[in-house]
Structure 1
Amino acid sequence: MITSESSSSMERSMRRLLLAVAMLGTVSAAHAADLSDLPILRGSFTDGLSKTSHNWDGFYVGGQFGFATTDVDFSHAPKTMTDFMLRNSILEAPVGGWSLLPSNHVQSTGFGAYVGRNWQLYDAVFGVEANYSYMKNISSSASDSMTRILDGETAPTGHTYTYVTSLGGGAALKLKDYATFRGRVGWDGGDFMPYAFAGLAIGRAEVSRFATVSYIKHDDYDESIVLGGVTATIHRQDTIDTGTFNKTELRTNSFMYGWTAGIGVEYAICNNILVRGEWEHVGFSDVKDITVGLNNFRVGIGYQF
Structure 2
Amino acid sequence: MRRLWLVAVVFGSVSAAHAADMPDLPVLRGGFTDGLSKTTQNWDGFYVGGQFGFATTDIDFSRAPKSMTDFMLRNSILQAPVGGWSLLPKNHVQSTGFGAFVGKNWQFYDAVMGVEANYTYLQDVSSTASDSMTRILPGEAGPTGHTYTYVTTLGGGASLKLKDYATFRGRIGWDGGDFMPYAFGGLAIGRAEVSRFATVSYVKHDDYDTTVSVGGIATTTHHQDTIDTGAWSSVEQRTNAFMYGWTAGIGLEYAICGNFLLRGEWEHVGFSDVKNIKVGLNNFRLGAGYKF
How far 1:52 sits from its partner (Å)? 1.0
How far 1:264 sits from its partner (Å)? 0.3
RMSD: 1.3
Q: What is the distance in 1 between the residues matched to 2:68 and 2:103?
A: 42
What is the aligned counterpart of 2:274 among 287, 298, 302? 287
Q: How does 1:1-305 map to 2 (within 5 A)?
A: 33=23, 36=25, 38=26, 40-305=27-292
Letter in 1 for 2:268: H
Q: Quote the residue 2:8 is aligned against.
A: none
How far 1:229 sits from its partner (Å)? 4.4
Percent identity between the aligned chains? Answer: 78
Q: What is the distance in 1 between the residues matched to 2:37 and 2:49?
A: 30
Deviations 1:163-182 (A, max 9, x none): 00000111100000000000
Q: What is the distance in 2 between the residues matched to 1:117 and 1:109?
A: 27
How far 1:44 sits from its partner (Å)? 2.1
Letter in 1 for 2:76: S
Letter in 1 for 2:261: L
Give ranges in structure 1 of 5+ residues lacking alignment: 1-28
How far 1:227 sits from its partner (Å)? 3.5
Q: What is the distance in 2 between the residues matched to 1:60 and 1:161?
A: 69
Q: What is the distance in 1 between the residues matched to 2:93 and 2:186?
A: 24
Letter in 2 for 1:297: F
Deviations 1:203-240 (A, max 9, x none): 00000101010100000001112344422111100000
Q: What is the distance in 2 between the residues matched to 1:215 and 1:44?
A: 90
Q: What is the distance in 1 between the residues matched to 2:96 and 2:216?
A: 81
Please identify runs of 4+ aligned residues in structure 1 that moved more than 6 A: none
Q: What is the distance in 1 between the residues matched to 2:256 and 2:29?
A: 31
TM-score scaled by length of structure 2: 0.91
Q: How many residues align?
A: 273
